[in-house]
Structures are given as structure tokens and as C-alpha cells.
């Protein structure tokens, strides 16, 4: 079986696509039984839409793929801790597992909406933490320079 | 100027469109300077997508209309208290005012994510409360009968 690190690397590749188009670099994928069924990166600037976070698009795409509103057997890999909005959406989806890389102390759900997820959802934090965090730091350093 | 009740009636008309297609009956509109720039109703069943709440669609449509990510001068009217997901999205949008009808004690943001909104956002609750709540009650009564 593939490891969580393996899938997080793919989410990181998505985040790098966001970075390259001047979007806050967050990437996400959804898997079921080790198969990737959705991949997305943040598009809030491109679409001029605050709801276009990587996770939101990945949820919509995965539900579309499965033709089902619930993601009970799925795992979401996302490079940064989901925000309140995304955690709320993940709660509605009843997703089985969430694996994230870097923490987000300013906007993360664990601080602002700790009960947003479905009670059965498992959360794993810190997978490829440094790589995910460094990409964010590099982005905001570049922003400050401009 | 039009009153909050005036606009909530239009949001209620949207909610009734949801009711008629067997969707949880929630409707929302966004206004700017007394002009409606977005109108939407819950489409989660139709689109098989948990993110398709009325508020999410209304935010996306309003930002699209304004070609701007922020809704600082806008008011959202929604028939039921926003959930955690929608409150998170409204927080990102920095919307000026939120007016809602019925409270949602099971899923509402005031219970699960009380700090999700932008600090400058004003919230008015209970406008046409009974009409909004009765539509929800009627829907779930119908559901239980089926």
C-alpha cells in the first residue's frame, strides 16, 4: 500500500501549481482504497472566489466522481490544516480520514471550530510538515518582496 | 429604502424553490446598496455536492458579479442561520452584514464557530423567523411521512 507521505507528495505537487500562479500554495487530493479520485489546488485569486480553496474543489470533485454526497471511505490529503469553511464542508461529507501537513494557527479549524468534523473522522497532522510549511513561508516571503 | 423583511421575503421565495425540488429549503440573496446581485437556493441533492449550500452559491455569484473577492459593502439575507462551512466562507468574504431568519441549533455557526466571521461583520437574527422556520418544519415533516 502507498503511504501517507506518498499521497502528501502529490498534494504538494498540486500546491506548487498554485504557487506558480501566485495563489496561496495549498494543494489537496482525495483517495479511496489507495486510488486518487480528486486533485485540486487553491484558485481563489484566479476565480475571484473565496470559496475556491483546494479542499472545497477536491470535495466537490470526489462527490461528483462517486456520484455520492458522502465520502465515508475516503481520505483527504491537504498540505495545510483546513480552515473553518473547509472543515465545515468536510464535516458535511462525513469523510473517513483527513491528513494534513502544516498547521495554520491563524485560520485553522482546530482553533476556531474544533467540533466541525463528523465524530467518526480521523485526523492525522504533520505529514511532510516541513515541506508544506516551507512552501507557504516561501510564498509569503516572495509576496512581501513584491 | 427597502427593509430587511422585504429582502428576506425574496430569500424565502428562493427557499421555496428548494422545497419544491425536495432540497432542504434554504434560500439566500446578496445585496449591495439595496440592489440584489445574487440569489440562490440549496442544491446539495441536485448537484450531489455538500458544498452547494445557498450561501456558498450566493457568495460565489456576488463575487463574480463584482469581480472582487471581498463583499465589504454587501448584505447576505439567508432564511436559516449559516452553518460552520458557510460562516467560514462569509468570514473570508469580509461581508458587511448578515441577516438570517430561523436559528439552527444543531448546525449553526453561533454554536460551533462563533468567531468564524470577520470582526467587522454585523449579524441580525430572527427576521421573518416564523416563516423561515415553518418552511423547514414543513419540509422535515413531509420527509418523515415519505
CB-count exposure of residue A143 (10 Å: 0-12, 13-18, 19+)? exposed
- pLDDT band for position A1 (50/70/90)? confident
Residues of A with catalytic roles: 55
Q: Cα–Cα distance between B107 and A72 in angstroms, integer?
A: 20
Name chain B contacts of A49, Cβ cutoff 8 Å.
Answer: 59-60, 63-64, 69
CB contact under 8 A, A49 and B56: no
CA dihedral A76, A79, A85, A90 (to 10 degrees): 10
Residues of A in contact with B85 (CB under 8 A): 84-89, 91-92
- Cβ burial, residue A94 (10 Å; 0-12/13-18/19+): middle
Q: Report the percent of chain B where pLDDT is more than 70.
A: 100
Q: For residue A118, which of A100, A103, A96 has the smallest C-alpha distance?
A: A96
Considering only the beta carbons, identify the residue of B50, B60, B113 that sits closest to A84.
B113
Contact B56 A60 (CB under 8 A): no
- 10-residue mean pLDDT profile of chain B (146 residues): values are 95 98 98 98 98 98 98 98 98 98 97 96 98 98 88
DSSP state string for chain A:
---HHHHHHHHHHHHHHHHHTTS---EEEEEETTEEEEEEE--HHHHT-TT--HHHHHHHHHHHHHT-S--TTEEEEEEE--BHHHHHHHHHHT-SEEEEEE--TTTBHHHH-TT-S-TT-EEEE-TTHHHHHHHHHHHHHHHHH-
ipTM of model: 0.96
Q: In this structure, are residues B77 and B29 in contact, taking their beta carbons and an 8 Å threshold?
A: yes
When CB atoms are compared, the residue of B50, B60, B88 closest to A85 is B88
- Could you tell me the pTM of the whole model? 0.97
Give the residue from A76, A67, A112 showing the smallest Cα distance to A94: A76
Give the model's confidence band at A24: pLDDT under 50 very low, under 70 low, under 90 confident, else very high: very high
- Chain A residues within an 8 Å CB radius of B112: 113, 115-116
Residue A29: how many CA atoms within 13 Å on its side-chain side?
Answer: 19
**Minimum distance, in Å, between the CA of residue A128 and any CA atom of chain B:** 26
* Cβ-defined contact of B85 to A83 (cutoff 8 Å): no
Mean per-residue pLDDT over chain B, rounded = 97
- Average pLDDT over every residue of A3-24: 98
- Cβ distance B93 to A50 less than 8 Å, yes or no, reads yes
Amino acid at each position: 500500500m502507498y503511504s501517507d507521505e506518498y499521497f502528501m507528495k502529490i498534494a504538494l505537487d498540486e500546491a506548487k501549481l498554485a504557487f506558480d500562479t501566485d495563489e496561496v500554495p495549498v494543494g489537496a487530493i482525495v483517495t479511496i482504497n489507495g486510488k486518487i479520485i480528486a486533485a485540486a489546488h487553491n484558485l481563489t485569486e484566479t476565480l475571484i472566489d473565496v470559496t475556491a480553496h483546494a479542499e472545497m474543489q477536491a470535495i466537490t470533485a470526489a462527490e461528483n466522481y462517486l456520484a455520492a454526497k458522502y465520502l465515508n471511505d475516503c481520505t483527504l490529503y491537504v498540505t495545510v490544516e483546513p480552515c473553518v469553511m473547509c472543515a465545515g464542508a468536510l464535516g458535511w461529507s462525513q469523510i473517513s480520514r483527513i491528513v494534513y501537513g502544516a498547521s495554520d494557527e491563524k485560520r485553522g479549524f482546530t482553533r476556531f471550530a474544533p467540533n466541525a468534523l463528523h465524530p467518526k473522522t480521523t485526523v492525522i497532522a504533520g505529514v511532510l510538515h516541513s515541506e508544506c510549511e516551507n512552501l507557504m513561508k516561501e510564498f509569503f516571503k516572495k509576496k512581501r518582496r513584491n
